[in-house]
Structure formats: structure tokens, C-alpha cells
Amino acid sequence: MTSPIAYLSNADRLDRLFIDGEWTLPEPLTRTAVVDPSTEESVAEIALGSSADVDTAVAAARRAFAGWAATSAESRATLLDRVHALILERAEWFAQAISLEMGAAIGYARSAQVPLAAEHIRVARDNLATYPFLSHRGTTAILREPIGVCGLITPWNWPLYQITAKVGAALAAGCTIVLKPSELSPLSALLFAEVVQDAGIPPGVFNLLNGDGPGVGAALSAHPDVDMISLTGSTRAGVLVSQAAAPTVKRVALELGGKSPNVILPDTDLSRAIAPGVAAAFRNLGQSCSAPTRMIVPSQHLQEVERLACAAVAEMVVGDPRSEQSTHGPVANRAQFERVREMIAVGIAEGARLVCGGTGRPQGLDRGFYVRPTVFSEVDSQMRIAQEEIFGPVLCVIPYDTIDEAVAIANDTIYGLGAHVQGGDLETARSVAAQIRSGQVHINYPAWDPNAPFGGYKRSGNGREYGIEGMEEYLETKAVIGFQSA
């Protein structure tokens, strides 16, 4: 099978932007390297767009909007079905690209990164088929209409998954799109643009600009002909996007950082709760904004929790992401590598007790952005490692004495994206879940639900993605009073 890099290079995609249904060469041509985090070596160069390319892409999306918005829900659903089928058909290419560009273990790319991304398209298709775009309230008609041209800015940690979460919902709603994926993990985005093209999405409806934040991201956020910006990224990036968007009063949807708690209630079966909690915190090597990296545990069970957590870490195999034996690869880029190592050192300096892991690379790995899965115990909620998003495999175990104290610790954060609660008594778990200020709460490690709305309280953002609520972010509400006779 041809590698994604070889294919994209041979197809002359790496130097191109996808605008108005065509692969176009930006002028001037500026390139940036795509670095394999397992070797620290450049494996490709991609073209970066500019503010002028943003103007061209937005103009194409604006021209296409009226026609796309007027299409029937059935025709849009048919096209989304083609996109879904093509992602599954090309799943191995996507998995290889994601493993190469951001270091996901190939098994995880195949089992999670790609199939979960495809699910967002399926859900958008299915919800579109039954959504009431017209409803009645007495003699008034309530219309839900597409908001217009949408600028979508996606991150490097779940590159395809975050693209499909936004693109599927926006296309279902009848919006047109200019997508800026992360320039750090752009290969899967280029493959996705081909999927959209091959599925028959009309020209101008979907446009792709690789580029950096100061160049393409800022221009897209400020553009007067963009009706909405949807960003998944850091809280800092969310602030910048909001500031750039403010003068044009466009809608801004933000899915930002997190420091999610995992509350282990006193009646929890620790043998069934701790290992899955560690796995959830370290999925995608902790590079998930909703990863439950604060494990809040009863003081009397602290030593047993530590033992079980370290046993779970010992089962992890950090290594070459293309190896079938590796459960985890490197972190995605040098900046993140340095950040994780710095924060592990901060935890040690703050007096948290290091029970496994540490600052160095795992044994036998002397190059690549590899870090050791690390567990701290006896963490105080005011420590930096308990307050700041580390975005790596670092778990903070925080003891508590009462359930009220556990809830207070869970809420002691500027974030509010995700949370977990474990307990034998479901009513108690539900009560605790109701008191946690976050956009999602998972009780006893339920299966992932692509229809569950996802988004944050507090500085974790605003708006929701996934499911019906995700599509409604891209809709305006119009009331037509007197639509029916009294």
C-alpha cells in the first residue's frame, strides 16, 4: 500500500490549498515542515496559506452558500453518506497519516482516531434526516436556517476527529465552510479534502487552507464575510479568536481547555475503577482536552489507589507508534514535549509525591518526543499540576475526606469541560454528577456516545458540538409571526 506521504506528494497535494473545488497553488508559496514526533525528523513540507488566500476561499464559500443552503435535507444527507463511506474505505490511509503526523500508536489510530471521526459524519447524516427545520408555535412558524459561511479551526491532537465533528454538523445545517486545520498535523486534513471532493460536495461549499494562527486563523476570525467561527484549541487561542471576531459580531463557538476530575466515591470497587481511570486520563497520551487527569479519591484508600494506578501504568507500552506492540507513542510535537517534562518537574518541586514515571524519556528511547506516563499522589488542589492543563500523560491523585470536599475539589478549577464519577450506589453518583460544573459527566465509564452534546462551562468555552446540539450551533432561528391563520 502506498504511504500517505508518497500518495499526497505524487498527487501534488502538499503544495496546494483546496479552494472552490480546485487544488490551487498559493502565491507566494511558503512551506512549513511536517515533523514525525517519533524521530524528530521532517517527513514532508506543506504549503501555508495567507490572508489573501483567506479572502479567496471566503469569497468562494459566499458564492456557494445560497445554492447549498437551498438544497434539500435529503440531498445533503446523501452526500454526507458518501463522505462517511469514503472515510471508512480509506481508513488505513487516515490511520497511517495520523500516526505519522502526531504520533498516535497505529492501533489507537485504527481503533479510535479514525472510526470515531467517521461516526461524527454518520451522526450528522442521521440527525439531518429527521431534524425539524420548520416547526409551529400557535400561528407562528419557527424556522431554523443555516447561519452562513463558517470558519472552522481545528487542533493537532485529534486531527480528523475534530474536523469531522465540525464539518459534518456545518454541512448538515446547510452552511459553507473554510477549514483551517492545524499546520502541525495537516496530512489527514488533506486526505479529508479529497474525500469531500470525491464525494461530490459542490465547489465552494468546502474549502481547506493550511496555515498558522497568526496568518490564516486571525484573518479568518476577523473576516467580515465569515458569519461564524468554531475553534477547538487552547483557552489562549479562544481568547484571541474571540477578540478578532468581536468587531464583526459573528457567532463564536469555542471548545477549549480542561482539567477534568474523576471522583472515586467511597463505595467504589477500586479494582474495577482505577485502571480504567488511568487509561482514560492517558488515552491519546493525555492529549485530550477532556482527559480526567485529576483523580479525586478517599483518603483511606490512597495507598491502594496508588498501587493500582502504577500497575496500570506498568501495562502501557510507550514506543514506536507504527509498532503493533505499542499502546502509546510520543507526544505530538516539541513544544508539547517540553511542556510535559517541565510540568513533571514542577510537580516534583511543588512537593507532590511521584509514585511512578518522571521527567526523562522511557527506557530505551533516546530520541523522539517520548515521555514517561507519570502519576503524582498527595497532590494539593492549589498546586500548578492540579490547576494547569498539562496535555500529557500526567495524573494527579488528590485525596479527600468527605463527599462534599470531593465535589469542591472537582469544581476547584477555571475549567469545566468533562468529568467522571465512579460509585457503587447510582443515586449517590448521580447526585455528585449534578453538582459538578462541567459540560459532560460520565458515570462509571459508559460507552462513548456521539450524540451526547460536548462543550464547556467556564473557561472551557461556549457552545456545543456532537449530536443535535452540535448541528444547531450552525443554525439561526427565525420566527415568522402570522404564518398561519388564527
pTM as predicted: 0.97
In this prediction, residue 58 carries a pLDDT of 98
Q: Order across the sheet with 140-146: list the strands.
A: 134-137, 140-146, 475-480
Assign a CATH topology to domain 261-450. Aldehyde Dehydrogenase; Chain A, domain 2 (3.40.309)
Q: What are the domain boundaries of the chain?
A: 4-256+461-479, 261-450
Whether 306 is catalytic: no
In this prediction, residue 149 carries a pLDDT of 99
In this prediction, residue 28 carries a pLDDT of 87
> Which residues, listed in sequence order, are joined to residue 143 by a DSSP beta bridge?
134, 478
In this prediction, residue 486 carries a pLDDT of 72
In this prediction, residue 104 carries a pLDDT of 98
User: Among residues 119, 183, 255, 306, which one is catalytic?
Assistant: 255
CATH architecture of 4-256+461-479: 3-Layer(aba) Sandwich (3.40)
438's grid cell? 462541567
Return averaged pLDDT per consecutive 10 residues of the chain, 486 residues in all.
87 95 93 97 96 98 98 98 98 98 98 98 97 97 98 98 98 98 97 98 98 95 98 96 98 98 98 98 97 98 98 98 98 98 98 97 96 98 98 98 98 98 98 98 98 98 97 98 89
